[in-house]
Amino acid sequence: MRYRRPAIQQGILCVVAIFFMAGLICAPEIHAAKLNVVVLTDAAGLGDRGFNDVCWQGVERAKREFAIETTFGQSLSAADYVADLTAAAGDADIVVTLGFLFVDAVKKVVPRFPHTRFIHIEGDIPGKNVVCFDFKSEEGGYMAGIVAGLFTKTGKIGVIGGMDIPPVEAYISGFRAGVRTSEQKGHTPIDVIAVSAGSFDDPEKGTSLARELIEKGVDIIFSLAGNTSTGVADAVKASKHVYWIAEDLDKDAVIPGRVLTSALKKMDVAVYRAIRDIVQGEFQAGHFWLGASDGAIDITDMTLSKGLFTAGDIKRIERVRRLLKKGAVAVPGRSSQLADFVPPDL
């Protein structure tokens, strides 16, 4: 493991607090001159160009404005999670864990440190000293699916997930629903081929899987694989005729004109608000879902790719964005819900 007490690499904080949440829980006030925040990630760490880096943007803003100290720990395997969390909780006022893979470990550690505040992203963990946040990834996947379905020329679209976990399933289910919605335009049925890399930190695997999909005739690949997606981008760039849809962070400029859009989880905004609330002495425990209607899920404005679409298709994409922001579309977050999904009119 890479966590060291008390000094570790400078790092990030990813926490969220939303004004409208009910059930304010009072926690012991922190009287230190600066809040000590320890953030733990899985093996992907910082520099994943996705999930973890989005959180990093939020903490950088907060650190510029508030009196906080941040340290970063990277657990290299699941076997390290409990030990790393225990060490972090012994040092910190706030412990932040990023990703669904930490859920079981956090559940074990939280009760042992009742005066430490825990913030967890992706997963539901009970406790008066822990707040958890999930994002409606299916809504981002849905918008990405609309874009892909309206664009594809071959009728074959690839999806590469990092691991078979609920947030990835939500992305893929929403994406399939979006592609199905786009078929109303008059397309013949579109084939979505989804594969799993088994890791969020294996660029070589990402490249290999992308090449296999390209050989099967896909002209778009949607990747949901953290640092593994960097390998997907390399394969797309080398292909000359295949396009990419990225996740979590705006990557439209990575391959200018060849990235159709990026599905955004705006965790950076949530991070900033959470730190602000904690600094002001407020803490809300519980489990909260954030989506397009909260401003937390979206796609990019497609500045570099709009010219690839007809004016009518751009209007269709914008209509779907508006519907989601109004909460007017219930997007399936599980594969088992796809059969019952009724697409809205484009």
Condensed to tens digits (0 to 9), the pLDDT of residues 301-315 reads 999 999 999 999 999
Question: Looking at residue 66, what DSSP letter applies?
Answer: S
Output the pLDDT for position 94: 87
Output the pLDDT for position 38: 86
**Sheet of 35-41, strand order:** 68-74, 35-41, 94-98, 117-121, 130-135, 286-290
Output the pLDDT for position 332: 97
Interatomic CA distance for residues 276 and 254, integer angstroms: 32
Domain ranges in the chain? 35-136+267-294, 137-264+298-339
* Fold match, 35-136+267-294 / 137-264+298-339: yes
Pairing of strands 297-299, 259-265: antiparallel
CATH number for the domain running over 35-136+267-294 = 3.40.50.2300
Hey, what amino acid is at 28? P
Interatomic CA distance for residues 327 and 346, integer angstroms: 16
Output the pLDDT for position 186: 64
Low-confidence ranges of the chain (pLDDT < 70): 1-33, 186-187
Q: In Å, how far are 57, 300, 344 from 329, measured between CA atoms? A: 30, 19, 7
Q: Specify the fold of 137-264+298-339.
A: Rossmann fold (3.40.50)
pLDDT digits (tens, 9 = 90+) for 98-141: 888 999 999 999 999 999 999 888 899 999 999 888 999 999 99
